[in-house]
Structure 1
């Protein structure tokens, strides 16, 4: 009789373990279901792991109805990671889409979709030691993929029109389908230059101008015919007060307009550095500030500061701190029938 009871108890214990194992992943994912942006701090993917995707950009692919977030993967293997989402709050890790391999420095990947050739083109900061000087190579790197989730294959790397290139930003013009890269240029980041890409986005053109701004980390938006360029100063991993510039043409000339971070007590862009400005589809004038909180150095645990950008009636850029917010602050665009 004791043997029967013991056997029953053992089977019951095994059943409890099996059921618990099945429930825990579901509960784990449920715990990490977001319905808003929580600015700074830990941000978990759908597997419950902190998102490792820094200095990048978000791309919305219309025919897939999906957002793709690309950025530096600072864990192992190093390179660029990709996460996918349908709501901008909850992100599934799609993996490392390109490994840096022999590239000494791989930073700030930006991806654009080529609708004509149905491929994805990644531009990034390609760098390393040259003649004993760190960050001396100072080039743009280009990689392509037939899928948004990679793998991306390196195509080329070079200095655009002979200019050194480090931190980069990207702007895509929906009306003309043209793409531009703003890059911190020359030794060392003495200015930002703006260069137009070729029609297939695979090379830079000679339409390359100096916009005379000593800064890095550029992000760009356009509203009512005015271009807004948001940048940080050059202070390494240490945050600083960002500045924005305006122009009537993407190629400039740009005029400095001051600091857009309102109520920034630390005078350090809310302890962040800009990397991209994303125009959120489906809403009127919905601009998302994407900032990195490096905490003194790039690591897989570096955090993110995502905040809405306001362009006031007087044409001023303002970024206000919000501990938590969601897309309901924006006005939905009316659907055309």
Structure 2
């Protein structure tokens, strides 16, 4: 070995040792608490990049999927895709890479630079596929497309293959349970309100689908909830058995009130949903609903947040409610604190949900751990 080779070898060994030391120091500093609104480093020490996301629990592990943001003016457009992280304890997250990549083909629905928001992944036991749904806006079209997009994978971490995007339930009228009042039924021959007019306008080509979530019920049936009718109504729509399409059965919720960021969960046989108003990137008061049947009636209950800054959801906006595996009555409210001028710096607000009978409350905590929940 000559002198130059020796120096290179020693340098490589030194750098490797330094890297291992840094990794060791970081591993010893594993998180044991949640700190809402603070920088949340992954296993590489980088702030988690999974905004507007949701979590799937599968085979003893949690998988967090969210929008991968970038620095600069393009931060709120999809320049990379959907990022995936995994965890066994919810505090510490391993970077699993990009689960769904945007396309370099500008004619592709998920072309680089499109708007791809609020990805949610569910597992289909019949097909043994992982199914990802997301809100999609086509490249260069602003928020005019208002589509739902779907992708699938054989592996939870991906890669996911994009299937299609479209507006749901074209040509379909809402499902009306027996309790539905006549005033809630749409008459497209003479729409009774501006909101009904939006519904009727979009009836032939399908309903607008923006902020969204996906929920799988105890019987394995899945539902897609999304802001529709220029965001003035939430629609809850049943998905096909393979979870990659819509059956045509859907209802309208909280008609005539602009609602975004739906997050649906179930507790003791009651369905709950948390959402927000529509104020752009600025935070507003959260709102919650409950129903004894997935098909309603859905009852509006006001703001679940309490205390200081509850009127702005502590600076955040709902994205998902996570049931904690192995614990009773344990649900985590997940929200994003958006920073549109530096989207990559967006923070995560995770807070425990408290049940007061059949009511829910969310209180601010600077720091907390899973010990707040009963086993």
TM value normalised by structure 1? 0.88
Which residue does the alignment assign to 1:324?
Answer: 367
TM-superposed deviation, 1:325: 1.0
Q: Secondary structure at the match of 2:91?
A: coil
Which residue does the alignment assign to 1:108?
Answer: 118
Alpha carbons 1:29, 1:48 under 8 Å: kept: no
Which residue does the alignment assign to 1:217?
Answer: 261
Correspondent of 1:303 among 340, 344, 347: 347
TM-superposed deviation, 1:285: 1.2
Where in structure 1 are there 5+ consecutive unaligned residues?
Answer: 1-10, 333-337
Q: Aligned equivalents of 2:31 and 2:11: distance in 1?
A: 34
Where in structure 2 are there 5+ consecutive unaligned residues?
Answer: 1-8, 71-77, 170-205
Q: Which runs of 4+ in 1 moved over 4 A?
A: 11-19
| 1:126 partnered with 2:169 | no
Q: Aligned equivalents of 1:17 and 1:121: distance in 2?
A: 41
Q: Secondary structure at the match of 2:278?
A: coil
Task: Label 1:13 to 1:183 Cα distance change in 2 as closer, same or farther (>3 A).
Answer: closer
Encode CA deviations 1:267-301: one digit per residue, 9 max, x unaligned: 20011000111111100011110100003457121
Q: Secondary structure at the match of 1:219?
A: strand
TM-superposed deviation, 1:264: 3.4
Which residue does the alignment assign to 2:127?
Answer: 117
In terms of mean alpha carbon deviation, does 254-263 or 19-28 score higher?
19-28
Correspondent of 1:152 among 152, 160, 166: 160
Q: Aligned equivalents of 2:270 and 2:16: distance in 1?
A: 60
Task: Label 1:311 to 1:22 Cα distance change in 2 as closer, same or farther (>3 A).
Answer: closer
Which residue does the alignment assign to 1:208?
Answer: 250
Which residue does the alignment assign to 2:24?
Answer: 26
Q: Aligned equivalents of 1:58 and 1:262: distance in 2?
A: 25
TM value normalised by structure 2? 0.79
Task: Label 1:12 to 1:327 Cα distance change in 2 as closer, same or farther (>3 A).
Answer: same
Equivalent residues in 2 for 1:1-337, closer than 5 Å = 19-31=17-29, 33-62=30-59, 65-75=60-70, 77-101=79-103, 102=106, 103=110, 104-128=114-138, 134-161=142-169, 162-173=206-217, 175-186=218-229, 188-211=230-253, 212=255, 213-265=257-309, 267-296=311-340, 299-313=343-357, 315-332=358-375
Q: CA RMSD in A?
A: 2.1
